[in-house]
């Protein structure tokens, strides 16, 4: 088949199936814990451990995609994901389920490769704009998945959600096999050449500033993933379906933030978009925490702030990812993988921390405190980048 660049919808589907595997079953977590006869904290590992495995995988998949190409990494990761999904669907115990759930993390390679493909085709602020459009389409999946997952759980049980994962994963594999052309030019860099270039990437203040901005901004969302099912059931008394409906809140905000990135990143510049988004995220979460601590406890206040958090993330993440990959364009896959790994590893830690601190009687305070602190760190990170670029005489 001709090696042509993939269509935008293929990239959206690759990112979307990664997002789907992360959150479609979240409303089912309390029921899954009861079904397997384990504590909620054990079943919550299907989120935090999955995120951690995704981080490790991205460290490997990024350099490999720079070397052998984007196409074989995508097809291989989807094939592994399908086999692991079958295993998770048939798992008789919580331990076996968690094992196959970790293997499912292979699909995370699709997310980093879709970003690297955009960077292969576009440069600078234009790449940030196109990544914004790709992730805007991706946002539809996590917006709808928990809603569908909650309804499917109540109608057919939690395993039906994993059957949906498998069917959609197979459909994306077929689409990628037919459309996913190769965008790495000249056969890619050898691993030896990549290793020789790592020190320059690692010494870049701009690279680490963008990484921290993305890691801490997305950390708010990952902490939310780890704690929101508990808060929904134990603080607000919601059913799994109701939790699924409210899970659309961050995705609605993320969709709008991605649209703003796609529309304005090229004219505003990456750094202004990141700073604006991180401030929106911090202010919304801080207001929610203050209102909650004042004794006003209502799901619309909590999830309303989460929607604005999603808006901020939608502005921060496409631009921060483009910024990371702009430091050394020939290492776009490596930069995307390393940045994604750090973001996911930080998210796994925050997700696990949220799950550990949320106990009966704790309320939503621990979760909100974690998210506020993470959002504040994202603001400081992009200010660090701006200060560095100002010292170097670079444009914002």
Rounded to whole angstroms, the Cα distance separating 30 from 305 reads 24
Q: Tell me: the pLDDT tens digits for 307-323?
A: 999 999 989 988 888 88
Res 376 pLDDT > 90: yes
Rounded to whole angstroms, the Cα distance separating 207 from 328 reads 9
Domain ranges of the chain: 8-180+190-392
Share of the chain above pLDDT 70, in %: 85
Of the candidates 222, 223, 96, 229, the one whose C-alpha atom is nearest the C-alpha of residue 162 is 96
Distances (CA, A) of 17 to 121, 167, 172, 224, 285: 22, 10, 8, 20, 28
H-only helix segments in the chain: 8-23, 29-36, 40-43, 45-68, 70-90, 94-104, 108-121, 124-156, 159-179, 191-202, 205-230, 240-246, 248-268, 270-293, 299-327, 332-357, 365-392
**Please, are residues 109 and 58 in contact by the beta-carbon 8 Å criterion?**
yes
Q: Give how far the C-alpha of residue 286 lies from the chain's centroid of Cα atoms, to the nearest Å.
A: 22
**Please, are residues 340 and 58 in contact by the beta-carbon 8 Å criterion?**
yes
Confidence tier at 287 by pLDDT (50, 70, 90): very high
Res 332 pLDDT > 70: no
- What's the confidence (pLDDT) of residue 278? 94
Over range 316-339, report the average pLDDT.
Answer: 76
Q: Is 37 left (phi over 0), alpha (psi -120 to 50) or beta?
A: left
Confidence tier at 1 by pLDDT (50, 70, 90): very low
Question: What secondary structure letter does DSSP report for 27?
Answer: G
Q: Give the pTM.
A: 0.68
Confidence tier at 2 by pLDDT (50, 70, 90): very low
Reported residue count of the chain is 396
CATH class label, 8-180+190-392: mainly alpha
């Amino acid at each position: 088949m001709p090696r042509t660049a993939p269509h935008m919808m293929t990239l959206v589907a690759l990112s979307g199936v990664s997002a789907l595997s992360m959150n479609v079953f979240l409303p089912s977590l309390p029921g899954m814990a009861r079904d397997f006869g384990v504590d909620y904290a054990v079943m919550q590992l299907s989120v935090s451990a999955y995120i951690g495995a995704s981080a490790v995988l991205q460290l490997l998949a990024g350099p490999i995609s720079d070397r052998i190409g984007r196409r074989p990494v995508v097809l291989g990761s989807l094939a592994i994901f399908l086999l692991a999904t079958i295993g998770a669907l048939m798992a008789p115990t919580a331990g076996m389920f968690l094992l196959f759930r970790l293997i499912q993390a292979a699909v995370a390679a699709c997310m980093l490769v879709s970003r690297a493909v955009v960077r292969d085709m576009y440069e600078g602020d234009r790449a940030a704009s196109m990544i914004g459009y790709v992730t805007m389409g991706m946002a539809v999946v996590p917006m709808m998945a928990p809603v569908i997952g909650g309804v499917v759980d109540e109608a057919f049980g939690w395993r039906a959600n994993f059957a949906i994962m498998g069917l959609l994963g197979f459909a994306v594999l077929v689409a990628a096999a037919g459309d996913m052309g190769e965008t790495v030019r000249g056969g890619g860099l050898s691993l030896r050449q990549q290793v020789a270039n790592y020190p320059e990437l690692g010494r870049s203040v701009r690279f680490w500033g963008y990484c921290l901005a993305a890691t801490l901004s997305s950390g708010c969302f990952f902490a939310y993933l780890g704690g929101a099912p508990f808060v929904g059931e134990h603080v607000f008394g919601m059913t799994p379906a109701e939790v699924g409906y409210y899970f659309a809140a961050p995705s609605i905000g993320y969709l709008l933030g991605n649209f703003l990135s796609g529309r304005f990143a090229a004219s505003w510049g990456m750094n202004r978009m990141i700073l604006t988004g991180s401030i929106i995220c911090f202010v919304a979460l801080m207001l929610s925490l203050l209102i909650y601590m004042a004794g006003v406890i209502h799901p619309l206040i909590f999830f309303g702030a989460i929607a604005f958090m999603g808006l901020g993330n939608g502005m921060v993440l496409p631009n921060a990812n483009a910024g990371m990959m702009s430091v050394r364009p020939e290492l776009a896959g490596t930069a995307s993988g390393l940045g994604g790994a750090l973001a996911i590893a930080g998210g796994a830690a925050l997700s696990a921390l949220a799950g550990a601190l949320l106990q009966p009687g704790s309320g939503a305070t621990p979760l909100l405190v974690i998210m506020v602190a993470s959002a504040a760190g994202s603001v400081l990170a992009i200010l660090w980048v701006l200060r560095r670029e100002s010292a170097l005489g670079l444009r914002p």
